[in-house]
Structure formats: C-alpha cells, structure tokens
C-alpha cells in the first residue's frame, strides 16, 4: 500500500470516527430538540436505565470502531494485487475461530444479564408498588393519552392540551392500559418505555428529583411559565396508527404546594357545586277585607 493511499485511508477513518462522536455528543441535533443520546435522568429508574445505556453503548462503540478499522486494514493490506495473487486467509485457524465465537457470546451474555437485572429492579409490579404515595392510571387511545388520578378526575392530553402533573419527591405509581391498539408511554428522563396493551395492565413508576425546580436545563425539558415547574417531553414509542405523531407526552413536575392547589382546581372543575335554587316567587296578596264597622251592602229584594 502506497504511503499516499495509506494517509487517505487514515484520514477517511478518522473523519468517520470524529463525525460519529460529534453526533453522539451533540445535544440539540435537530431544531425540534431531538438528541441521539438519552437526556439527563431525573428519576431513580431513569438514572439506572441511563447507566445501563452507557455501560452497553460505550464498549459497543469501541468494538464497532475497532472491527471496522480492522476490516478496512485487512481489505487493503491483504487485497489481491494481481490476477495470479492470493491474499492471506484464516480458514482453519482454530484459535482465531474460537476467539471470535467465544468473545461475542460472552459480550451478549453480559448485556443480557445486566438488562435482566434492570428489568427485575424497576419493571415489575413489586417494584412499581414499593412505597408508592400516589397513583395515576394512564390510558392510551387513538390518538391521545388520559391520566386518571386518585382524587377522581381525569386529565386529557393530546398534541396541544394539558400535561400529566406530578409533585416532586413523590413515588408515583403508574398503570398503563389501552382502549384499542398497543401504545407505548415513554419519557426518557423519567422512565423506560412501558406498553399500554388492550386487555392487560402494565405498571411502572417515577419519582422526580426536587432539584429540577431549580435547574430545569436540557433539550427535552423547559420551565413552565405559569407554575415555574419543570416540564419533560416524551412521546408514544409504538407506531399506533395514522395519528401516532399527535400522541406527544408532557409531564409537569411542580412543588407539593402547587400540586395540592392544582388538584383542588381540577376537582372543582370536575365536580362543580350545584347552583342554589331560585327563591319561590311570593304569592299575590289577597283582596282587602271590608273595613271594620262598615255597613254591609244591602241584600237585593226578593
């Protein structure tokens, strides 16, 4: 391989690696705030998913780059240089064949074990019901979400309406059901994807870190101008029909006091007090009786 060609190959490989790193570390990749990496987690189960994601992704990227660079090197180093030339081959090399069978198997086994441990820790009914302080029933429809609270009212959310509101520092137990097709509720900063399946109830939970009320920075969140709370964005992660794009998710985290005020307002709107009945109209006054001492009218003659 000529020195000039070798330099070009090195430049191409380094460019690919640099571009991949740039895309993976960029926060707002697109104008709508999408990112190729998970946003900063603010719930314990979201944090553990994020840690697992990094634990798998970083070695995977290193292995991918190493394999691709090695493949390019072998292709150009041992390429066939003339019609009567045969490059090196590895067929029958027992040590190499055992290595590239055993090593990937070990890697996949480790990933499976760690993933299973995370599922057991955070995505079982026992985990969802451990110490829960409030409950919200999440229902998916074509094409909106509804959130039913313990207090007996329901919030309807589609592309342009009210978010789910939760208090910070509170263990919130979530149940997921669907009225028609499979949906998937996903707010990456809070928890993993949880399917809403017709005829079957899934469970999950969130517990938002109170620190978000003082630091609400990230491409997936913004400060709510009305409450000062931190609003997190997610979306349905299951292709559920023609209106799938409208099934956006917003979760607004507020203080305990603001949440209590919000609940009172929602209950008042859901169960308004009946208007008082109008007072009955007074009956007309009876005709005035003859004055005392007045002579009665004479009777007609027979």
Which CATH number do you get for residue 266?
2.60.40.420
Q: Is the pLDDT of residue 218 over 90?
A: no
The predicted pLDDT at position 32 comes to 38
Same domain, 10 and 110: yes
The verdict on residue 143 lying in a domain is yes
The verdict on residue 137 lying in a domain is yes
Same domain, 63 and 179: no
Same domain, 122 and 141: no
**185 or 79, which is more confident?**
185
CA dist 229 and 187 (Å) reads 16
Same domain, 73 and 190: no
Same domain, 230 and 265: yes
The verdict on residue 251 lying in a domain is yes
HEC string of 269-297 equals HHCCCCCCCCCCCCCCCCCCCCCCCCCCC
Same domain, 121 and 210: no
Q: Report how many domains make up the chain.
A: 2
Same domain, 140 and 201: yes
Same domain, 167 and 248: yes
Q: Is the pLDDT of residue 291 over 50?
A: no
Same domain, 160 and 214: yes
Q: Which two tokens stand for residue 69?
A: 């660079």
**Could you report the per-residue pLDDT of 48-72, keeping only the tens digit for each?**
999 999 999 888 999 999 989 988 8
Lookup result for tokens 């709107």: 269
In this prediction the pTM is 0.73
Cα–Cα–Cα angle for 182, 187, 191, rounded to 5 degrees: 95
Q: Is the pLDDT of residue 37 over 90?
A: no
Q: Which two tokens stand for residue 134?
A: 């409030």
Same domain, 151 and 266: yes
For residue 205, list its beta bridge partners: 173
* Residue 38 structural domain: 3-79+95-126
Residue 11: pLDDT band with limits 50, 70, 90: low
The verdict on residue 240 lying in a domain is yes
The verdict on residue 282 lying in a domain is no
The count of other CB atoms within 10 Å of the CB of residue 34 is 11
Q: Is the pLDDT of residue 17 over 50?
A: yes
Same domain, 42 and 10: yes
Same domain, 34 and 157: no
């Amino acid at each position: 391989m000529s020195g000039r060609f070798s330099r070009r190959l090195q430049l191409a490989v380094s460019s690919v690696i640099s571009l991949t790193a740039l895309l993976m570390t960029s926060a707002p990749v697109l104008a709508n705030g999408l990112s190729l990496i998970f946003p900063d987690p603010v719930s314990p189960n979201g944090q553990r998913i994020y840690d697992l994601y990094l634990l798998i992704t970083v070695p995977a990227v290193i292995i991918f780059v190493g394999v691709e660079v090695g493949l390019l090197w072998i292709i150009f180093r041992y390429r066939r240089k003339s019609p009567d030339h045969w490059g090196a081959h590895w067929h029958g090399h027992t040590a190499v064949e055992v290595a590239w069978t055993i090593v990937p198997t070990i890697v996949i086994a480790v990933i499976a074990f760690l993933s299973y441990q995370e599922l057991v820790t955070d995505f079982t009914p026992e985990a969802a019901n451990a110490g829960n302080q409030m409950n919200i029933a999440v229902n998916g429809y074509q094409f909106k979400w509804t959130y039913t609270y313990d207090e007996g009212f329901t919030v309807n959310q589609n592309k342009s309406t009210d978010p789910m509101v939760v208090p910070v520092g509170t263990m919130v137990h979530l149940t997921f059901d669907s009225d028609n097709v499979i949906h998937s509720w996903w707010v990456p900063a809070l928890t993993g994807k949880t399917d809403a399946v017709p005829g079957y109830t899934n469970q999950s939970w969130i517990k938002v870190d109170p620190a978000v009320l003082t630091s609400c920075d990230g491409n997936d969140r913004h400060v709510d101008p009305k409450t000062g709370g931190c609003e997190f964005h997610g979306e349905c992660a299951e292709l559920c029909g023609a209106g799938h794009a409208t099934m956006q998710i917003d979760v607004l985290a507020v203080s305990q006091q603001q949440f209590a005020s919000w609940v009172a307002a929602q209950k008042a709107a859901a169960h308004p007090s009946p208007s008082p009945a109008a007072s009955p109209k007074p009956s007309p006054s009876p005709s005035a009786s003859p004055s005392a001492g007045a002579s009665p009218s004479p009777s007609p003659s027979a």
